[in-house]
Structure 1
């Protein structure tokens, strides 16, 4: 069984036992969370599509860690104008393990 979930403005296809890095959510490491914004459920040939969410469906997950991605370097330059700009960014994430899908 698999599901398409929405979290942090992004959509992810998940199945039980997978590890996933999503946008940071306020939860302690080791805590169990429930993701209830399920857009689609699929099992074999049968597919349930929500409008916009599937009612009664949920994904249970365990928070494995909180962290930050690698730094992204941003460099802007206008040639012959003596303009250069350096910037860096590190996005926060929450790593979760999908324990089960119900619905």
Structure 2
């Protein structure tokens, strides 16, 4: 709880801590073929880093801040059913969609070239 970072990836902001895993959607740098396990990733879009009592805030991102991690596996999310109906027109449309996501674990957080301790 002492060290964490807030990153921007997949169109959303996540609060990440070293040693924990997270699911992310729309991981743009990687395509489906490259989402194999143990693929190392570097995330440069770091908004905030908290290390014990110091808080570093970027505008919009911190310079020289990196979150290093690796992909555990890729997966399909649960199916989302979209049902559209126009009343009094007798038109109905139903379709489903499964989002591709990746589960990754954060290995370490770096600020100005030095690793922040847990």
TM range (shorter): over 0.9
**Aligned-pair distance for 1:24?**
4.2
Equivalent residue runs for 1:5-84 within 5 Å: 5-25=7-27, 26=30, 27=34, 28-84=36-92
**Aligned-pair distance for 1:45?**
2.9
**Aligned-pair distance for 1:95?**
0.7
Gaps of 5+ in 2: 112-118
Aligned length: 103
Give the Cα separation in 2 of the matches to 1:78 and 1:89: 21
8 Å CA contact retained: 1:24, 1:66? no
If the length of structure 1 is used for normalisation, what is the TM-score? Answer: 0.93
* 2:94 corresponds to 1:92: no
8 Å CA contact retained: 2:11, 2:26? no
For residues 2-31 of structure 1, give each alpha carbon's deviation from its aligned partner in whole angstroms, at most 9, with x where no partner exists: 000011221100000111111243143112
8 Å CA contact retained: 1:36, 1:59? yes
What's the RMSD between the two structures over aligned residues?
1.2
Gaps of 5+ in 1: none
Give the Cα separation in 2 of the matches to 1:39 and 1:72: 30
